[in-house]
Structure formats: C-alpha cells, structure tokens
Structure 1
C-alpha cells in the first residue's frame, strides 16, 4: 500500500475587503457600513482594506462595555 503526504500551508489573512470584514464581524455589509467605526487602510489606490486587529479591538470594546450576553444584545450595542 502506498502512502501519500499532502503538505498544505495556510496563511491567515490580516486585511479584509469590506465584504470580508462584515462577514468576519457577523454583519451584513449594509449594517457593517452603518455601525463599524473602524477606518479602512488604503494600501494602494482603490484598495481600502480593514485590519483584522482593529476589528477585534472594536468588537472587544463593544463586548466589554455592554455586559451583553446574547447576539442581539451585542448587535444592539454596535449601533
């Protein structure tokens, strides 16, 4: 019997397009645009990207300030 090895390297993205950033935060793009105070980074002209670390800090702040326990409570605090 032959054994085959598959060596896969996965690089986790740090910068997200708006649709990816919204999905990462669990929001629809229209809600993300309305609620998210994080400013995108212009790495090159026409390429505004959201830093995952900035998104994490925003979410952590919302969670820490809210004391919310449910998904709906957290979403309400985002606004």
Structure 2
C-alpha cells in the first residue's frame, strides 16, 4: 500500500474588497456600508480595501458595547 503526502500552504488574506469585508462581518453589503465605521484604504488607484485587523477590532467593540465610531479611534487602539 502506498502513501501520499500532500503539503498545502494557505496564506490568509489580510485585506478585503467590500463584498469580502461584508461577508467576513456576516452582513449584506448594503448593511455593511451603513453599519461599519472602518474606513477602507487605497493601496492602488481605484481599489478600496478593508483591513481584517480593523474589522476584528470593530466587531470586538460591538460585542463589548464600546463600539469605536471613527477610523482614528480604531487606530488609537492599535
């Protein structure tokens, strides 16, 4: 009997497009746009991306009831 090893390396994304960020937060895009205070960044012209770490901080704040309302408040916690 032969054995086969399969080595798979998965690189976890840190930056999300809007639809990915909304999905990560568990919200439809239209609700994400209204509810999420995390500001996207533009790494290249015309492409807005949301940082997973900022989204995690926002979600943690919502869970604890100390929701940060601005990007600056989130950055201050980093």
TM-score between the two structures when normalised by the length of structure 2: 0.80
Displacement, 1:43? 0.4
Structure 1 consecutive aligned stretches of length 4 or more whose deviation exceeds 4 Å: none
Unaligned runs of 5+ in 1: 67-79
SS of the residue corresponding to residue 38 of structure 1 reads: coil
Unaligned runs of 5+ in 2: 67-78
Name the residue aligned to 1:45. Answer: 45
Name the residue aligned to 2:32. Answer: 32
Listed one character per residue, the Cα deviations across residues 25-60 of structure 1 (whole Å, up to 9, x for unaligned) are: 000000001111100010001111000000011111
Q: Distance in 2 between matches of 1:59 and 1:3?
A: 43
- Work out the number of aligned pairs and report it: 66
CA RMSD of aligned residues (A): 1.0
Q: Distance in 2 between matches of 1:38 and 1:4?
A: 45
Name the residue aligned to 2:63. Answer: 63
